[in-house]
Amino acid sequence: MSDITLLKNKLLLVASSGAFANFSPEQVKEYNDELEHFLLVSTDSLDSIELFNLYELEFYLALISKNDIKAKSVLDRLLDQFGSNKKSQRIKLLQSLFLEATGERDQATKLLEKNPDEMLLSRRLTTFSRNNDDEKDNEDYIYNLIFYLDLQPSDLVTWAELGDEYSKIGHYDKAIFSFKEILLQDPYAYPVFYKVALNYYYNFLQEEKNLKTERKDKLVELSELLINARDNALRCIEICDVYAKSWLLIYIISTHKFNEKLSKLDSVKEIKDYLVTNERLRKLSEIKISELIPEDERANVLAQLQLK
Amino acid sequence: MITPDLLLDPQLKYWVLLPISFVMVFIGLLRSNITFLLQAPPKLEGFKAVREKQFLRRAASFKTNNQVLTEEEFEVRKQYFIEKLNSTDFYAKIEDSNQDPMSQLTDPGMNDALMNMAKGNVMNFIPQTVIMAWVNYFFAGFVVMKLPFPLTDGFKSMLQNGIATPDLNVRYVSSISWYFVNLFGLRPVYSLLMGGSEADALMSQQQQQSPLPNIGGPGGPKVDKLFKAEAENIQILSHESVFEGIAERVLESYGV
């Protein structure tokens, strides 16, 4: 493959994966320059689908770098070349993004609302209700996400978004439900298993904090959350055994001081099994963590997990 | 016995063999361009129809991947799916079961689909029929070429269609057979001439948009039948969780 083809493939992959959303400012600039140069030199060798995707990427990069003059010019170029199809949802989406970025939110909303069949646009409309000022106040956003999911019950990205939003406000059980929906369609998505495990663990911490009595049934109930957290983390490991965060979670669970309280309850079979494997898992996770995470980062990561 | 070679007039090559090939390539290109122009622009599916399909997909993935759930989660979802699949909550439109089956024929959606199918078929058949008639009319019984390699007698019916000479060497090809060879063999030539990769990309994009059966479309299964069948499948589902003995499994895999 020639260098040009490799560069083209790289840019197309960035465009289709949406990886640019997590770019650092330097990366955005680097890609912007690279893409601009590439489009200048080899527009002719691209077919129309590739060209559209790359223009789209250029538009997003311009928006991210707050260069709305350039964004406008890219948008005009897109309309020039592909505007004959007035129905295109993708072009409308870009137009609405531009309007939103330039502060004309009402017009953007109008553009998105026109046709209820245009699901891509409805999805964008849903994000309008996200309240960026206060992270904890996302009731409207959650309501809208649920409404959208009723229309598109197998939209995985939206389920993930809903799970994250629930997790933010401490509704861990609902977050787990949302993440499980993703797993049902993609049963090997190991980062999602980790998220489920983490939410079970947070749920456990929440319940433990509110624990007033040390009655047996309450403790058993709590231990179930912990066991679920551990099992999901283990499933993540089973699929991808270098997922360091999951090993850390297993380590934290197996060394949690709540386990001491449980040791009084070893008449219950599940708890007895749990405690027996716990010690072995602790040793194994210690070994794996020392393999996977450099020593100077370890304390930092651990602190992050336990702070929540 | 060695049969003496049949002497072919070299003019046959210029006046029969090549014209047939050229005409076929030309008409093939013309046809694909006309088909492209006649193609209706892809219609946006109504959000209710999408919802119906997506719900069915969600139910189907529950059926195949329920091992990621715990026992309680499984039971809750199982009840939910059975209830929803047996209700009409997710139907795109509720059809009257007493409806006259003939009234379906006046459904505009149905008509559009039938029209598209008919257009495609017409564009396929008419040019082929015309070329074949043309070859048959002008070049009936022509032997147009001799293959440069030997063949077994089994190829006789394929290569010497339309000429009644049982003893002729199989290497000679008749005009109508040349037409058939072209008909089936020109696809790579078309894709070369029309820039196949983009067309393929477009095609695959269109296919991606509808991975599910065309519910309620012409010839497609009816939504209530599909939902009922799915509900029955879920009803008899047995559940085995991946979390069963997972700690032991992981520990064993590391030999701890």
Judged by CB atoms closer than 8 Å, whether chains meet at A184 and B201 is answered as: no
The pLDDT value recorded for residue B218 is: 55
A 225-284 residues inside an 8 A Cβ radius of B: 228, 230-232, 234-235, 237-238, 273-274, 277, 280-281, 283-284
For a pLDDT cut of 90, what percent of chain A falls above it?
46
The pLDDT value recorded for residue A46 is: 85
B108/chain A closest Cα distance in angstroms: 18
The pLDDT value recorded for residue B109 is: 67
Q: Which residues of chain B have pLDDT under 70?
A: 1-4, 96-109, 195-220
The amino acid occupying position A18 is G
Nearest to B119 by CA among B221, B201, B217, B31: B31
Tell me the domain boundaries of chain B: 11-253
The pLDDT value recorded for residue A179 is: 96
End-to-end Cα distance, chain A: 48
Question: What ipTM is given for this predicted complex?
Answer: 0.81
pLDDT 10s digits, A37-85:
999 988 888 888 889 999 999 999 999 999 889 999 999 998 888 876 6
Q: Looking at the predicted structure, is the pLDDT value of residue A171 above 80?
A: yes
Chain B nearest-CA residue for A238: B250
Asked if A118 contacts A92 with a C-beta cutoff of 8 angstroms, the reply is yes
Entry pTM: 0.77
Kindly state whether B126 is in contact with chain A, defined as any CB-CB distance less than 8 angstroms: no
Kindly state whether A114 is in contact with chain B, defined as any CB-CB distance less than 8 angstroms: no
Question: Which residue in the set B45, B55, B201 is minimally distant from A117, CB to CB?
Answer: B45
Contacts of B46 in chain A (CB under 8 A): 117
Chain B nearest-CA residue for A193: B68
Q: What is the 3-state secondary structure (H, E, C) of chain A?
A: CCHHHHHHHHHHHHHHHCHHHHCCHHHHHHHHHHHHHHHHHHHHHCCHHHHHHHHHHHHHHHHHCCCHHHHHHHHHHHHHHHCCCCCCHHHHHHHHHHHHHCCCHHHHHHHHHCCCCCHHHHHHHHHCCCCCCCCCCCHHHHHHHHHHHHHCCCCHHHHHHHHHHHHHCCCHHHHHHHHHHHHHHCCCCHHHHHHHHHHHHHHHHHHHHCCCCCCHHHHHHHHHHHHHHHHHHHHHHHHCCCCHHHHHHHHHHHCCCHHHHHHHHCCCHHHHHHHHHHHHHHHHHHHHHHHHCCHHHHHHHHHHHHHC
Which of B36, B239, B246 best tests the A interface by mutation, with the highest count of A CBs <10 A? B246
The mean of the pLDDT values for chain A is 88
Strand, coil or helix: what is B237? coil
Judged by CB atoms closer than 8 Å, whether chains meet at A153 and B66 is answered as: no
Judged by CB atoms closer than 8 Å, whether chains meet at A187 and B250 is answered as: no
